[in-house]
Each structure stands twice: as C-alpha cells, then as structure tokens.
Amino acid sequence: MSLYPLKFTPILKERIWGGNLLETKLFKEHASPGIGESWELSAVEGSVSVVANGILKDTSLADLMSTHKSDLLGSSVVRDFGYNFPVLIKFLDAASNLSIQVHPSDELAKERHNSFGKNEMWYVMEASSEASLIVGFKEGMTPEKYKSHIENGTIESVMEKHAVTSGDTFFIETGTVHAIGAGILLAEIQQTSDITYRVYDFNRTDAHGNFRELHTELALDAINFKLNPPEKCNYEVNTNEKNELISSPYFTTKYLPVIGKYQEECLSSDSFKAYLCVKGNGVISNNFGTAEFSYGETILLAANSTFISVESVSGCVLIEVQY
C-alpha cells in the first residue's frame, strides 16, 4: 500500500503547568485549558499514534511499522531499532514553569526501566517577553553542593537561565538538569522515552492539594556534573534550503523555510522524515500522494519516498526530523 504523507491524531496530555495555547494557537481538537502536551508522533507504550488522514486512517503507528517495515522506517532505523520508532515528537505549552528535572542516559535508563534515555531538542515557537529556559548548572556545581541546595530549596539560584524568543533552539543531553519556563510554546524532539526524574517543583500542589513526587535519589545518579550548560544553537535560515539544526547520534534536525516551492530527490532510504510546521501553512507531497498542513501540525514521510515537495504561497517553516 502506498505510503503517502501521513498525519496523526494528536495525543493530548493534561499537565499541572499546561495552558490553553494548544487549543487557541495550534487548534488541537479536544484541547482544553490545562492541556500541556500534544504528542504528535509517538510509539510510547500506551500512547501510540494513529493515522488521521487518507486510506490508512485509524491505523496505528505500531501496525504501520510491522506491516511496512523498512519501507516506512528506513534501513538504518531497522538496523538499529528493529521495527520500533526511535523518536517522540511533541508540542508543549508551558503556562507555568515545568519542574526542574533530569533524564537518565541510555545505560541508566536501560538498567532501571528497560527504556532508552531521553536526549532532547527544544525549538521555541512562541515566547512571552519574560520567558526563559533553565539549562544546566552554573560553574562549580558538585554533588555535595547540589544536595545542599536541594535540601535548602535553593536549587533555582544555581541554574543557568536563557531568555528566549521564537526560533531559539537547544539540545539537552541526558544528565543535564533543566526546565522549561512559563510563557513558552515549543516543539520537542526526543528519544522514544518517558523517563523523567523531578528534582524541584517550586513547592506547588495539584488540584487536590498534593505535592508531586520528587525523585531526589534517582536523579543524583543520573546527573552529569561534568557537563557544560547547553548553549543556544546557531543555524542558518536560508530560504528553500535545509539548514542544519542538530546532528546527534539520536536524531538529526533541519530548519526548512519555504516560500513558493521546495523540491528534492531522495537519494537514500536510510530513514523516515517527519516535518513539524512551526510557521505558516502549505502542501507536502511525495511520490505516493499529497497532504495539506498548517501551523502546529506534523507529517510523516516514509523512507521509500523518492521525492519530497513542499509548496507554500504565503510561506512556511518546517523542522525536519530523521534518524
């Protein structure tokens, strides 16, 4: 069966820090105030994406992978992951601060949870004038100092912060203590994992007056105190060209601004390609079909696509994700 450009039904997640931008800005159906995450493309157990368009509508991503194998995923993906999807793609709306947290490495996540680690990338789509991201410790942090700040509730004072605006991009390695600040709408690309160790939650309570669980001891072993704080990614923004954002062992991302038409031949079938629309709207095609897209939508193109075409009269920006 032809693998035309595939769109998926968003999987909406209520979060204590969620706002209403997924409903009012990205027009996610059934979103409501308090929805903090829209999982766009997921193979996480219990939250597997389902096709929303065309003849394959209502087919799960798991069934697509088992049926179409390397035609969908790509030869490199099948080689390294079998018939499993290696990334999780989300949009996040932080009306208030997310917890200060850390994710374990592949090795630690495998040992503790039989899971991948969670290296991730953030692309800021919109941000309020006061918005910032917390990314790593200030210089000189040690396990002993960290434990003292946790006990005293002063961990926020020793974290690096970056004021952010639309287009800012960060790569967050496992072992980096971090948090998304209030007033930010962003796209997150990460390894397929849902393992988070929460170290500080600003002393807030849920609707029932309960504090959320902290993972102080688990986090201590997961933190890499030797990591330098991540810096904002510098990248080109050439129109109708793919501009490299992040190249990592876990995924590669590129920034693709289109005005008019962009087209390329696909010379390799190593990997699928996913496209997140972070500005504007347009039409995307491969040799099997066409799909319209708009701001806040995600499209998956199979590895056996022989060409990719994007058309946008008014202009759009896509983030390309592949392995």
Q: Mind telling me the catalytic residues?
A: 198
Provide CB contacts within 8 A for 132, sequence distance 6+: 161, 162, 163, 164, 181
Nearest CA among 52, 40, 54 for reference residue 3:
54
| Residue 118 near residue 109, CB atoms below 8 Å | yes
Cα separation of 130 and 125, whole Å? 15
The residue type found at 112 is R
Spatial distance between the Cα atoms of 59 and 207, rounded to a whole number of angstroms = 36
Residue closest to 85 by CA, chosen among 51, 45, 58: 45
Q: Which helix (H) or strand (E) holds 36?
A: strand 35-41
Q: What residues have CB less than 8 Å from 6, skipping those under 6 apart?
A: 51, 53, 54, 56, 64, 291, 299, 300, 301, 302
Pick from 183, 173, 181, 178: nearest CA to 198: 178
Q: Are 265 and 313 spatial neighbours (Cβ–Cβ below 8 Å)?
A: no
